[in-house]
Structure 1
Amino acid sequence: MAWIFGLSAECGAEQAIAEQFAHHFENVSWVLSNGSQTQCHADIFQDIEENWWCRICPSTISEVGIDTPETAYLMTELGILLYQRLRSAPTFRYALVGVEVDEFRTYRELLEESPAPAFPGLVLSETLWQRIGASTAFRPFSSGYVWKPYEGEVYKPLLVSSDLKKKLNELLVLQ
């Protein structure tokens, strides 16, 4: 199973807005700190509420999730670059960078969730932010947008190492 890292943005009911958003990221490339080059690929799709999303996936990054500290570092570096580019993107309602962030919340779910979600990296239009309660956990991101600042990606060895899981299970049995 693939665990894709990228940026997902919900753009509302108009396909043309999602297409403009995708165009802003399509084929953008960066050279990362390890010397590798990555290029963004964008695609759009509709969710079950018929709102349009844009998914931005950088190339040459792990598709198995965060399996090493180095992968977490590179994904965090890419996350920062994606957020920098997002600041000048065409309009969208909300966006998030991370592993498996496609359709992380539908628009209706976001409106109905109480308290309003404030997970790290979530960018909201100011209109949406005010509509869901204007949480003080958010700070200015760019003109017309606020965010809960990004905290980077995290490597969790217990999620990827069967040896460590076994050792932890042995420890838990001894209680």
Structure 2
Amino acid sequence: MVWTFSLSAECGAEQSAVEQFAHHFNGLSWTLSIGMQSRCQTEIFQDFEDHWWCRVCPDNLSEIGIHAPDIAYSMTELGLLLYQRLRSAPPFRYALVGVEVDEFRTYSELSTEISEASFPGLVLAEKVWQACGAAPSFQPFSPGYVWYPYEGEVYKPLTVSPDLKDKLNELLVLT
């Protein structure tokens, strides 16, 4: 199974809006602090509510999730770069960076869940934020947008190491 790290943004009902958004990111390239080069590719698609999405995928990253601390570090660095670029992006309604964030919530799901759930890194257009109840945990991101600040990507050794899982299971049996 492929685990994709990306920026996913919902741009509303107009295809031209998502095309402009995709153009803003497509082909963008960065050299990370570890010397690795990563180039962005974009993909446009519609959800079942007929809203347009753009997925921005930096290349040269793990496709099996965060299986080591250096992977979490590189993804976090790229996440910060994606958010920096997002500040100057054409209009969108909401966006999130992370592993497997494609269509993380449709607009109708988001509008009913935003007050009870936090999505670190979630960026909302102010109109969407207000329509969703203007949760006070959001902070200014850029003109016209707010966000729940990004916390970076996390390496969790217990989720990727069979040896550590076995040791945990041994502890759980003793309790």
TM-score, normalised to structure 1, is: 0.98
Distance 2:26 2:141 in 1: 22
Cα distance, 1:118 vs. partner?
2.7
Q: Is 1:18 matched up with 2:22?
A: no
Runs of 4+ off more than 4 Å: none
Distance 1:129 1:70 in 2: 34
SS of aligned partner of 1:76: helix
In structure 1, list runs of 5 or more residues that go unmatched. none
Cα distance, 1:128 vs. partner?
0.5
Alignment of 1:1-175 (within 5 A): 1-113=1-113, 115-175=115-175
Matching residue's letter, 1:162: P
Matching residue's letter, 2:4: I
Distance 2:89 2:118 in 1: 21
Cα distance, 1:114 vs. partner?
5.9
TM-score, normalised to structure 2, is: 0.98
Distance 2:22 2:117 in 1: 25
Distance 1:114 1:54, change over 3 A: closer
Cα distance, 1:117 vs. partner?
3.4
Count of residue pairs brought into register by the alignment: 175
Q: Greater shift after overlay, 83-92 or 105-114?
A: 105-114
8 Å CA contact 1:119–1:148 kept in 2: the answer is yes
SS of aligned partner of 2:104: coil
Cα distance, 1:115 vs. partner?
2.6
Distance 2:10 2:114 in 1: 20
TM-superposition CA deviations, 1:114-165 (whole Å, max 9, x none): 6353311000000000111111100000010000010000000000000000
Percent identical across equivalent pairs?
69
In structure 2, list runs of 5 or more residues that go unmatched. none
